[in-house]
Structure 1
Amino acid sequence: MAYSQTSSASIGSTPNNEGPPCHCSQPTALTMAWTEENPGRRFYKCDEHGFVVWHDKEKSCRWQKQSLLEAREKILTQAEEIKALTTALRRANAQIAALEVSRSSGSINESLKAIEDHISAHINETQKVVRNLVLYSGGGFAIASAVIIFYMKSRCFLNPCRALMFLICCLNINY
């Protein structure tokens, strides 16, 4: 182990039974290094101890190194763009959902308005009936009172006991 890697990102690491086992006898996984010194160079890695041995025996050439570093930078930039686009898509979907809710609540508001109008009409009709009932009751009471008073005046002078008996019968008073 002549090389030691302090920072590497594993991309597509899979256990490989053909790779050399670690000194702890655990299987190793083929992993790609993304360090400045060894970009794109593959090595075997133990999950517990890290670097074991290089799979690619030679270091990459200068142009390969540059190409891999540029590719890595492009991948990172595109990953950030994807993240930003995903966030924008989530926001757009949330706005669409909000619009759908407002549209559906618009029909709910219309339904509620129709129900409110129906209830208001029913209340107005009930108030008319109550008003008429009070009016007719009051009118009936006034007419009945006038008839009783007229009858009492015409009969009281003739027979006061009869007028008292008539009043008792009208008021349903029992002795």
Structure 2
Amino acid sequence: MVVSKIVDLPDSSENGDDLVIPDMMFTQGKEPVGVSMALSQSSSSVSSHPIDGPPCHCSWRTVLVMAWTDENPGRCFYKCYLHGFFTWDDTEEPHGWQKLSLLEARDQIHRLREDKKSLYNKITELQKQLTVQATAEPAHRPAEEEIDLSTTQNSVYSNREKMLRQSFLISWGGCIATTAIMLYSLKPYI
């Protein structure tokens, strides 16, 4: 197994993520098979397939990645995940309003991720409380609050009877109205 540290990525600097690549995934002179797939799931990837960049010192292809550091926000570079080789894709560093906009966007993304995490934690906490409350509630329910099953069944049956009566009356009314219309239209012929 080959383990290399992912650097200049917003998530990996906080979590300490490592990219683990089995040795059998490599062939001499080519990029590792699993690197492009791992990058497609990362928010710092520019594309899901490797872009031909300058080769590493080991003659393997490099992968295009985007940096999100304070010094180089949104700046693309080519990187070899095994040896740490990198070179900038562009020659010009972001500056002025572009740099400020990229830093603000990065900070907003971090805030939104934290908000999302806190909301998921809150949902989990509320679900646990609801589960505890649901399991504890039947044991502590007073006898006068219990629902009488026979009363409920009687109300259901009476509602069904009302519906049947109404549908019966409506169908007979429709039948009588149809007969009357037919007789009225046939009146000149009789």
| TM-score, scaled to structure 2 | 0.47
- Deviant stretches of 4+, over 6 Å: none
What is the RMSD computed on CA atoms of the aligned residues?
2.5
Q: Distance in 2 between matches of 1:17 and 1:64?
A: 25
Offset, 1:50 = 2.4
> Which residue number in structure 1 is paired with residue 103 of structure 2?
69
- 1:149-160 equivalences in 2 (<5 Å): none
What letter corresponds to residue 117 of structure 2 in structure 1? Answer: K
Go from structure 1 to structure 2 and tell me whether the alpha carbon gap of 1:32 and 1:51 turns closer, same or farther (over 3 Å shift): farther
Offset, 1:68 = 0.5
Q: Distance in 1 between matches of 2:69 and 2:79?
A: 15
Q: Distance in 1 between matches of 2:135 and 2:63?
A: 51
Identity %: 41
Higher relative contact order (CA 8 A, sep 6+): 2
Offset, 1:45 = 0.8
Choose from 51, 57, 65 the match for 1:23: 57
Which secondary structure state, in structure 2, belongs to the residue aligned with residue 41 of structure 1?
A: strand
> Which residue number in structure 2 is paired with residue 9 of structure 1?
9
> Which residue number in structure 2 is paired with residue 120 of structure 1?
none
Q: Distance in 2 between matches of 1:31 and 1:101?
A: 51
Which secondary structure state, in structure 2, belongs to the residue aligned with residue 80 of structure 1?
A: helix
Query: Which 5+ residue runs of structure 1 have no aligned equivalent?
Result: 1-6, 111-175
Choose from 118, 136, 146 the match for 1:84: 118
> Which residue number in structure 2 is paired with residue 4 of structure 1?
none
Offset, 1:27 = 2.3
Query: Which 5+ residue runs of structure 2 have no aligned equivalent?
Result: 1-6, 11-43, 144-190
Structure richer in helix, relative to its length? 1
